[in-house]
Structure 1
Amino acid sequence: MKRLLVLSAAAGLFLITACTAGTETSAPKIDASATSHEPVTIEFWHGFSADNELKAFQDTLEGFNKQYPWITVKATKAVQDDQIIQSVRGGNPPDVALSFTTDSVAQFCKANIFQDLNPYLTASKIDASTLFPKVIDQYTQYAGKRCVMPMLADTYGLYYNKKLMKGNEPPKTLSELADLAKKLTVKDSKGDIKVAGFVPTSQMYENAPIHTGVMVGAKWTNPDGTSAVGGDPAWKTLLTWQKDLTDWYGYDKIEKFRKSFGDEWSADNPFNKGQVAMAVDGEWRNAMIAADAPDLDYGTAPMPVADDQAQRYGAGFIAGTVIGIPRGAKNPEAAWDLVKYLTTDTSALVTLSNAIRNVPSTLPALQSPDLKKDPNFQTFLDIFANPNSTTLPAHINSAFNQQTLQEAQIKWESGRAPDLNAVLAEVDKKINDKLKLTAGD
Structure 2
Amino acid sequence: MRFVPLAAAGLAVLALAACTAGKEAGPSLGSQPKASNTAPAALPAATIELWHGFSADSEVKAFTDAIAGFNQKYPQIKVKLVKGVQDEQITQAVRGGHPPDVASSFTTDSVATWCKSGVFQDLTPVIKQDGIDLSIFPKVVTDYTQFEGKRCVMPLLTDAYGLYYNKALMKGNQPPKTLSELTKLAKELTVRNPDGTIKVAGFIPSGQYYENTAGHWSAMVGAKWTNSDGTSAIGSDPAWKTLLTWQKDLIDWYGYANLEKFRKSLGEEFSAKNPFYENKVAMAIDGEWRVAMLANEAPKIDYGTAPMPVADDKPDLYGSGFTAGTVIGVPKGAKNPEAAWALVKYLTTDTKALVTLSNAIRNVPTTTGSLQSPDLKKDEHFQTFLDVFANPQTSTIPAHVNSPFNQEALQGFITSWEKGSVKDLDSGLKGVDKLINDKLKLSGG
TM over 0.5: yes
How do residues 370-381 of structure 1 correspond to structure 2 at under 5 angstroms?
370-381=375-386
Q: Which residue of 2 aligns with 1:29?
A: 31
Q: Which residue of 1 aligns with 2:117?
A: 111
**8 Å contact kept, 2:139–2:392:** no
CA distance in 1, matches of 2:193, 2:56: 34
Structure 1 residue 158, shift from structure 2 partner: 0.5
**8 Å contact kept, 1:204–1:258:** yes
SS in 1 for 2:94: helix
CA distance in 2, matches of 1:236, 1:94: 44
Structure 1 residue 176, shift from structure 2 partner: 1.3
CA distance in 1, matches of 2:77, 2:291: 33
Aligned pair partner of 1:83 in 85, 89, 105 = 89
Q: Deviations over 1:252-307 (max 9, x none)?
A: 33233333444433433322332211111112221222222222211111111112
Aligned pair partner of 1:396 in 394, 401, 407 = 401
SS in 2 for 1:164: coil
Q: 1:3 to 1:58 in 2, by over 3 A?
A: closer
Q: 1:293 to 1:18 in 2, by over 3 A?
A: same
Structure 1 residue 154, shift from structure 2 partner: 1.9
Comparing 318-327 with 204-213, greater Cα deviation is found at: 318-327
Q: Which residue of 1 aligns with 2:17?
A: 17
**8 Å contact kept, 1:3–1:208:** no
SS in 1 for 2:200: strand
**8 Å contact kept, 2:138–2:366:** yes
How do residues 335-350 of structure 1 correspond to structure 2 at under 5 angstroms?
335-350=340-355
Aligned pair partner of 1:147 in 125, 138, 152 = 152
How do residues 34-113 of structure 1 correspond to structure 2 at under 5 angstroms?
35-38=42-45, 40=47, 42-50=48-56, 52-113=58-119
Amino acid aligned to 2:302: D
Amino acid aligned to 1:80: Q
Structure 1 residue 435, shift from structure 2 partner: 1.7
Is 1:429 equivalent to 2:444 in the alignment?
A: no
Q: 1:327 to 1:225 in 2, by over 3 A?
A: same
Structure 1 residue 219, shift from structure 2 partner: 0.7
Overall identity of the aligned pairs, in %: 64
SS in 2 for 1:165: coil
Aligned pair partner of 2:420 in 392, 415, 427 = 415
Is 1:267 equivalent to 2:269 in the alignment?
A: no
Amino acid aligned to 1:264: E
Q: 1:425 to 1:81 in 2, by over 3 A?
A: same
Q: Deviations over 1:75-99 (max 9, x none)?
A: 3333332332233333333322211
**8 Å contact kept, 1:128–1:137:** no
Q: 1:292 to 1:307 in 2, by over 3 A?
A: same
CA distance in 2, matches of 1:169, 1:258: 25
Structure 1 residue 410, shift from structure 2 partner: 0.9
Amino acid aligned to 2:263: R
Q: Which residue of 2 aligns with 1:172?
A: 177
**8 Å contact kept, 2:59–2:361:** yes
Comparing 160-169 with 252-261, greater Cα deviation is found at: 252-261
Q: 1:335 to 1:263 in 2, by over 3 A?
A: farther
CA distance in 2, matches of 1:66, 1:366: 24
Q: Which residue of 1 aligns with 2:251?
A: 246
TM-score by length of 1: 0.91
Q: Which residue of 1 aligns with 2:134?
A: 129
Which runs of 5 or more structure 1 residues have no equivalent in the other structure? none
Amino acid aligned to 1:216: V
Structure 1 residue 393, shift from structure 2 partner: 2.1
Corresponding pairs, count: 438
Q: 1:421 to 1:54 in 2, by over 3 A?
A: same
**8 Å contact kept, 2:110–2:401:** yes
Q: Deviations over 1:5-63 (max 9, x none)?
A: 433111331343243269798424341235445352x3322223455434433432333
Q: 1:75 to 1:256 in 2, by over 3 A?
A: farther
SS in 2 for 1:119: helix
Q: 1:121 to 1:218 in 2, by over 3 A?
A: same
Structure 1 residue 224, shift from structure 2 partner: 2.0
Q: 1:84 to 1:193 in 2, by over 3 A?
A: farther
**8 Å contact kept, 1:162–1:298:** yes
CA distance in 2, matches of 1:2, 1:430: 29
Is 1:332 equivalent to 2:337 in the alignment?
A: yes
Q: Deviations over 1:143-193 (max 9, x none)?
A: 221110101122211111111112111011111111211222233344433
**8 Å contact kept, 1:221–1:229:** yes
Q: 1:291 to 1:91 in 2, by over 3 A?
A: farther
Amino acid aligned to 2:45: E
Structure 1 residue 129, shift from structure 2 partner: 2.1
Structure 1 residue 315, shift from structure 2 partner: 1.6
TM-score by length of 2: 0.90
Comparing 316-325 with 391-400, greater Cα deviation is found at: 391-400
CA distance in 2, matches of 1:80, 1:39: 25
Is 1:201 equivalent to 2:206 in the alignment?
A: yes
CA distance in 2, matches of 1:439, 1:2: 31
**8 Å contact kept, 1:209–1:405:** yes
CA distance in 2, matches of 1:389, 1:110: 25
Aligned pair partner of 1:257 in 242, 245, 262 = 262
Q: 1:218 to 1:275 in 2, by over 3 A?
A: same
CA RMSD of aligned residues (A): 2.4
